[in-house]
Amino acid sequence: MNPCRGRIFLSIFVALLMISISDSFSAEDRKRDNAPAFIKAEIYYVSWDIDTRSKLTTKDVRKLYWIRISIREETEVNKFVNWLRLDEMKLAAVPEQEDARLAIDLFKADGKRVTYYASQFNILSEDSRSKRGIDEEFRRKFRFENRTK
């Protein structure tokens, strides 16, 4: 093989490798940039254990809340969003409104609101198309009772 051809081949190979690496970093950066960054969270809660005559909606929970929590520091908002593990939600086979006990409004910098809600058993997207199960640890985060029992 001609030494010049080898150098040209090596140069082309290195250039393509660098482009490939650059593209993968760019894709990761774009993925991070497109991830929803929220600047505020409003959380409304009624008891997990109350009996109702009909299913509560997020609108009902916002109106009848027992506890309201506002998070206005962006880092803390996004820690809360990570704790919710929304990325683990799966598409529901048949989207069905569940009996809401917790409403979570997340606000983006442009003012758009994204709402999630929780029933006694699941956390769901506002339209109930995505959900994941919740456990006692999740429910306990919103109870302010004596925990030394």
* pLDDT, mean of residues 5-29: 46
More confident of the two residues 3 and 108: 108
At residue 93, does pLDDT exceed 60?
Answer: yes
Rounded Cα gap, residues 102 and 3, in angstroms: 70
In this model, does residue 10 exceed pLDDT 60? no
Instruction: Please indicate whether residue 15 or residue 67 has the higher confidence score (pLDDT).
Output: 67
Write down the pLDDT at residue 142.
Answer: 86
From residue 63, alpha-carbon distances to 44, 56, 81, 106, 143 in Å are 9, 10, 23, 17, 19
Backbone angles phi, psi at 127, to 5 degrees: -90, 5
d(CA 48, CA 123): 13
pLDDT given for residue 108 in this prediction = 95
Q: Could you tell me what percent of the chain has a pLDDT over 70?
A: 72
- pTM for this model (two decimals): 0.73
pLDDT given for residue 52 in this prediction:
86
> What pLDDT is recorded for position 81?
95
The pLDDT score that the predictor gives to residue 21 is 46
pLDDT tens for residues 103-118?
A: 999 999 999 999 999 9
Whether pLDDT at 22 is above 50: no
With tokens 């490939």, the residue in question is: 20
- Look up tokens 């769901």; give the residue: 124
Residue with tokens 């704790």: 83
* Cβ neighbours of 102 (radius 10 Å): 25
With beta carbons less than 8 A apart as the criterion, state whether 100 and 56 touch.
Answer: yes
Per-residue pLDDT, 50? 87
Residue 10 CA to residue 48 CA, distance in Å, equals 65
What per-residue confidence (pLDDT) applies to 143? Answer: 81
Locate tokens 């758009």: which residue?
112
